[in-house]
Structure 1
């Protein structure tokens, strides 16, 4: 038996149109799952110009998670769900999160929408005894200068992961999380495109390299598999040792 074979399983990755979510979506597809992702753009081809987005073999649907009413009214095309990955994320640089409008915007996407999506799809996950995986960040374990909303939301995501895991275990739903470190995506270009900042960041990572979406995908595959059947409420740090 191959515990990492997801043939016949339906996976939905919110925020799977790019970055970490996209890497996780492709990993499940390669392991046999039927995978759907959502993003904010009208159609999959709108992401064609972005080198980090690979949507071949994946079903794309538009869903703007910044609007709770849109999540509530969302009508998925799939009639079953085995794995739900919540990988949506936003950050505002240049101290924009110190303005209340910016603070609320980031919290709405990074935290409020997690609960909205989790409760939206809970009945489907309960029907399959499925798995919910919440992507947070190592920012939850330390301060992040200039980004109070990002930090607060990712810290909140860890608490939500623990609490939903406890609450929903009796329904057969396993809830766990992943806390990525510095991963090479469009969201981290403020660091990766700046040679000085990049070198400083790499000096703090024992493995001396950036993480990749594929690195995060390995943890997601494990958590959704029978190999993790007795694990709930845990957030696995996948950071190359950054927070050591």
Structure 2
């Protein structure tokens, strides 16, 4: 499709070892890009048997919640056409109500995004590239059991808008995708329970859960020249659930 040809371009997908990030990384590769991904495990081999496919991708280890690790991170990229930040953290059983856990989630889901965006601005400026942050439907509403997750994702939405304005003069666009329930390891607590899955699907107008590539397609669109006049926007990808 015209505009979705990434031949000769470079993409870095932070959190691209599994889930939504991995789907986007593979779609960039299929579209001709050179793709770098990050994950928290020691090496690519450690992801065998997971929901990640690292075929054709260059893997780097990175904990986005570790400020020193982000500072030291150097994937050796001179020009960057697409920076996708898909890493994230969520805790269950009200663990986020403990302040230490609250801070960990905020660090991974918000501070790390800011640090990476400013760190790679020179490479993005050189290529007139694009940043896509992976938020959530929680970017638009509270989540009773995950106050840190919802606070971080809400903050990420306004951070996206702020950076879109700040980076526009550099020719760098910044947007956000906000997935609903997507079938990944992180959300298995819901779709892995048959009763919960059935009830959730019934409430979605399209009557199915989302798949990682559903989000990956929107990410590629936002990074493409088709979306050249779009910045500071957030796209909900939830099968119409919030409609």
Aligned counterpart, 2:41: 41
Deviation digits for residues 122-143 of structure 1 (CA, Å, limit 9, x no counterpart): 1100111100001100112222
Aligned counterpart, 1:122: 121
Offset of 1:79 from its aligned partner?
Answer: 2.2
What TM-score does the superposition give when structure 1 sets the normalisation length?
0.98
Structure 2 unpaired stretches of 5+: none
Aligned counterpart, 1:142: 141
Q: Indicate the RMSD between aligned Cα atoms, in angstroms.
A: 1.0
Aligned counterpart, 2:230: 231
Aligned counterpart, 1:93: 92
Structure 1 unpaired stretches of 5+: none
Give matches, 1:101-180, under 5 Å.
101-180=100-179
Q: How many Å separate the matches in 1 of 2:18 and 2:123?
A: 25
Aligned counterpart, 1:69: 68
Q: How many Å separate the matches in 1 of 2:89 and 2:105?
A: 6
State the number of aligned residues.
243
Q: How many Å separate the matches in 1 of 2:81 and 2:186?
A: 28
Q: How many Å separate the matches in 2 of 1:80 and 1:43?
A: 24
Deviation digits for residues 13-33 of structure 1 (CA, Å, limit 9, x no counterpart): 000000100000001000000
Contact 2:77 2:123 in 1 (8 A): no
